[in-house]
């Protein structure tokens, strides 16, 4: 280990290209310049420390949100090399910090695998920061260099002695680049928790030094998972009831690919698989996920075919068990390490390396065969759940075919409640899913009939989290949504459970509900439907939530719609507070959409030129999965705590 550390020097740092374009086109390098891109700076910096951890040199990473909203990341790894780079004749630290795609991860002798999706590294963080301070603890010395917008202020210099080793980075994001420079603790915490799960044994400490309104500072949070993915799958599934007790785990290497997997079967009906490559969340899956599914289905099917009682159940039900049936109630975390990953897909998060498929198949096949032989009771419970899923799949197909036949006979196939738009170009059209017939009526009158369609929803739709697959197709409210938007299931020999959105009839699907707790619940029910049954709608950016105003504030000749309590208070401060002769503050609270006439609904909530829409995205699939299962599950207490913490409308329901 010591020799390898000594061999990590400037000669290991390879230069691929310059840094000049980052500030001109930042979105090309970090995705966007909004909140997502801002937090990507933290991830890029932490990724360097994680690379040291994966290489076996780092055990502790400290991430700090400072009072001035700068970020500090410090690790106890080897420290970035500081000796002279042989080609550029400057310190390797300066090369790493100022040249795009320069780093040890491009030299296979330094890192076998490395994290980070685009590999733009800490130099990109430097370019997009007004100021950055780098310190390296190495060879008993503290080396330092500072930068402004990526430009060094002085050559690397020694500023002191130390018995520590590692790297410390502090940066101040550039407010002229980003639309916001305020870091969200919860977003950073989610990623740090995820990294701790994915890298068993590493300790990540997150500290927020910013005081709250009362002057209190949050306690540091420590993320550490001794058992890695075993703890991860328990965490994701903690609001569900497991049917096998302990997770099934494997950690091995096949064909040079390190593979780690943990899975559970629960009493619910959805499949929740989260896959990672070099700590990157591959939300579009890829060859590692394909290999896992093939091996799991093959192994369980073989076991069921060879067990007399299970085989008789299948024969009695007169069904053929399909690969889909092995997914019901399955929660799994898949993590592989690939030396040179090839990413593809729309968001570049789909693994394309063909060799990984076979490696994962071998690993899962061996591990599952051993587990099933050693745990006959659990094996039988899993297979019986699979058989029930197959029966439900057949019932779902019959239910769907029945609905389709009715549509053909009645003509058109669109729900009678749908008020469609006249434009037939999906890219120009949008549909509002509106809570209640009353609000639906106002929306129909106030809309732009050329591009906006309205589908009124009566009451709360089915909680799809708690029902079998085929029950969804029996629920009128759900089927009205599915038929209206043009999503199809199981057509042309496709996977029964994969929604086909090729014929999606609207570019925007907008959930529009009352600004109260019931409305928020309906939002969640509808989002759960899309997340579990039509995730591609969310992944491709088609799902939105409308933002109706909470208040209409009027004072003398001044009148404004206010969407938050802060806006209402700002209105008071601007027009009322300074008026000594003020007789009244008139505030109209909108408890429901039905309280607004068509014109008000249009100008506040539906007019594309002035409305506020929240786009539903899945930044962290495992976190989203855990939140949905908690919100829609049977456990009341965590749901209450979540709602109390995140409630926006509590003040108008008193």
What's the gap between Cα 157 and its chain centre? 41
Radius of gyration of the chain (CA): 28
Please, are residues 347 and 339 in contact by the beta-carbon 8 Å criterion?
A: no
Structural tokens at position 98 = 């100022």
Alpha-carbon span 620 to 27, nearest angstrom: 20
**What pairs with residue 103 in β-bridges?**
14
**Count of Cβ atoms closer than 10 Å to residue 159 Cβ:** 12
Specify the long-range contacts of residues 115-118, CB closer than 8 Å, at least 24 apart. 115/47, 115/50, 115/51, 115/54, 115/278, 115/279, 115/280, 116/43, 116/44, 116/47, 116/51, 116/278, 116/280, 117/280, 117/343, 117/348, 117/349, 118/29, 118/30, 118/348
Q: Which of 227, 496, 518, 619 is catalytic?
A: 518
| Residue 514 annotated in active site | yes
Please, are residues 335 and 229 in contact by the beta-carbon 8 Å criterion?
A: yes
Q: Which of 51, 260, 325, 514 is catalytic?
A: 514
Q: Which of 94, 324, 378, 516 is catalytic?
A: 516
Alpha-carbon span 364 to 466, nearest angstrom: 29
Alpha-carbon span 193 to 239, nearest angstrom: 18
| Residue 516 annotated in active site | yes
Please, are residues 537 and 472 in contact by the beta-carbon 8 Å criterion?
A: no
Our CA angle for 615, 128, 46, nearest 5°, is: 80
**Helices and strands (H, E) in the chain, number of each type:** 20, 26
Q: Which of 94, 328, 378, 435 is catalytic?
A: 435
Helix axes 621-632, 517-533, angle to 10 degrees: 130
- What does the DSSP assignment read for 568-612? HHHHIIIIITT-TT----EEEE--SGGGS-HHHHIIIII-TTT--
- What does the DSSP assignment read for 359-383? HHHHHHHHHHHHHHHH-HHHHHHHH
The closest of 402, 409, 429, 580 to 504, measured between CA atoms, is: 429
Alpha-carbon span 359 to 292, nearest angstrom: 9
**What pairs with residue 62 in β-bridges?**
74, 205
What's the gap between Cα 31 and its chain centre? 14
Q: Hey, which bits of 7-165 come out as E strands?
A: 60-65, 71-75, 129-138, 141-148, 151-152, 157-161
Residues marked active site are found at 435, 514, 516, 518
């Amino acid at each position: 280990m010591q020799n390898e550390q000594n061999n990590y020097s400037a000669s290991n740092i390879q230069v691929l290209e310059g840094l000049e374009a980052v500030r001109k086109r930042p979105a090309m390098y970090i995705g966007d310049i909004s909140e997502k891109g801002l937090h990507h700076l933290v991830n890029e910096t932490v990724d360097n420390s994680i690379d040291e951890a994966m290489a076996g040199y780092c055990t502790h990473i400290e991430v700090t949100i400072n009072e001035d909203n700068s970020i500090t990341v410090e690790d106890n790894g080897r420290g970035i090399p500081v000796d002279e780079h042989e080609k550029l004749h400057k310190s390797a630290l300066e090369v790493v910090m100022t040249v795009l795609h320069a780093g040890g991860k491009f030299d296979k002798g330094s890192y076998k695998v490395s994290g980070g999706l685009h590999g733009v590294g800490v130099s990109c963080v430097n370019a997009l920061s007004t100021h950055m301070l780098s310190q390296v603890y190495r060879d008993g010395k503290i080396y330092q260099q500072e930068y402004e917008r990526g430009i060094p202020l002085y050559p690397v210099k020694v500023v002191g002695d130390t018995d520590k080793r590692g790297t410390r980075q502090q940066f101040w994001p550039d407010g002229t680049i980003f639309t916001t420079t305020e870091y969200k603790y919860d977003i950073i915490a989610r990623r740090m928790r995820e990294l701790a799960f994915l890298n068993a044994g590493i300790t990540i400490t997150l500290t927020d030094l910013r005081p709250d309104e009362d002057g209190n500072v949050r306690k540091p949070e420590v993320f550490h998972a001794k058992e890695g993915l075993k703890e991860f799958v328990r965490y994701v599934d903690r609001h569900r009831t497991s049917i096998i007790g302990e997770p099934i785990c494997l950690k091995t290497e096949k064909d040079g690919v390190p593979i780690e997997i943990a899975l559970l079967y629960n009493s619910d009906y959805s499949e929740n698989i989260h896959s990672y490559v070099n700590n990157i969340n591959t939300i579009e899956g890829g060859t590692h996920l394909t290999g896992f599914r093939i091996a799991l289905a093959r192994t369980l099917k073989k076991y069921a075919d060879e067990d007399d009682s299970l085989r008789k159940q299948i024969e009695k039900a007169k069904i053929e068990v399909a690969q889909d049936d092995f997914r019901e109630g399955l929660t799994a975390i898949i993590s592989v390490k690939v030396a040179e990953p090839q990413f593809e897909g729309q968001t570049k998060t789909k693994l394309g390396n063909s060799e990984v498929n076979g490696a994962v198949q071998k690993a899962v096949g061996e591990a599952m065969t051993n587990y099933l032989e050693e745990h006959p009771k659990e094996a039988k419970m899993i297979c019986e759940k699979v058989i029930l899923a197959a029966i439900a799949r057949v019932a779902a197909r019959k239910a769907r075919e029945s609905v389709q036949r009715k549509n053909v006979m009645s003509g058109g196939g669109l729900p009678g409640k749908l008020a469609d738009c006249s434009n037939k170009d999906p890219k120009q059209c949008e549909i509002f899913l509106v809570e209640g017939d009353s609000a639906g009526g106002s929306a129909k009158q106030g809309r732009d009939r050329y591009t906006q369609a309205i589908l009124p929803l009566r009451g709360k739709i089915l909680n799809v989290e708690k029902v079998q697959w085929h029950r969804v197709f029996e629920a009128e409210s759900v089927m009205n949504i599915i038929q209206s938007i043009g999503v199809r299931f199981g057509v042309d020999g496709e996977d029964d459970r994969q929604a086909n959105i090729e014929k999606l009839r609207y570019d925007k699907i907008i959930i529009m509900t009352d600004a109260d707790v019931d409305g928020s619940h309906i939002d969640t029910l509808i989002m759960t439907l899309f997340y579990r049954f039509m995730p591609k709608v969310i992944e491709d950016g088609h799902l939105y939530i409308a933002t109706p105003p909470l208040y209409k504030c009027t004072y003398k000749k001044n009148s404004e719609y206010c969407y938050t309590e802060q806006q209402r208070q700002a209105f008071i401060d601007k027009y009322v507070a300074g008026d000594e002769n003020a007789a009244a503050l008139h505030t109209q609270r909108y408890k429901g959409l039905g309280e607004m006439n068509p014109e008000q609904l249009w100008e506040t909530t539906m007019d594309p030129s002035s409305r506020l829409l929240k786009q539903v995205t899945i930044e962290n699939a495992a976190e989203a999965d855990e939140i949905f299962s908690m919100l829609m599950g049977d456990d009341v207490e965590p749901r209450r705590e979540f709602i109390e913490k995140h409630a926006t409308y509590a003040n108008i329901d008193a």
